[in-house]
Amino acid sequence: MGNFHIVLLPTNDLAASRELYTKLLGSQPTADSDYYVGFEVDGQHIGLVPGAATVMPQLQVDDMDSATRLITEAGGTVVDAPKEVGGGRRVAVVRDASGAQFGLTHDAA
């Protein structure tokens, strides 16, 4: 199916978090705006998200519809339905039957 390739971290102070993670990761941000800061380190994307409620790992999937169907068939739920976020990327938020919440990401070929 895929692998976890993005970790989104909540922050209540984006500037301070940008400074901290730049030092911790030893890397400059690859995405830097007023609403999101992202880093690429060894094939892993780490994103800082102001106002987010929790850490959100993102699972890369080959087929968004199949992945959401597998989740629901296994007793999980779709928390935030799949949607386009630009650049051919679709994202969704799901919760498995045990309550673990994570994101799904699909990039168009």
- DSSP β-ladder status, 101-107 and 56-60: parallel
Neighbours of 93 (CB within 10 A): 17
Query: Is 61-107 a domain of CATH 3.40.50.2000?
Result: no
Beta strands in the chain (DSSP E): 4-11, 31-32, 37-41, 44-50, 56-60, 77-86, 89-95, 101-107
Domain boundaries, the chain: 7-50, 61-107
Residue-wise pLDDT tens digits, 52-77: 989 999 999 999 999 999 999 999 99
Residue-wise pLDDT tens digits, 83-105: 998 889 999 999 999 999 999 99
What is residue 19's three-state secondary structure?
helix
CATH topology of domain 7-50: 3.30.720
Residue-wise pLDDT tens digits, 14-60: 999 999 999 999 999 999 999 999 999 998 999 999 999 899 999 99
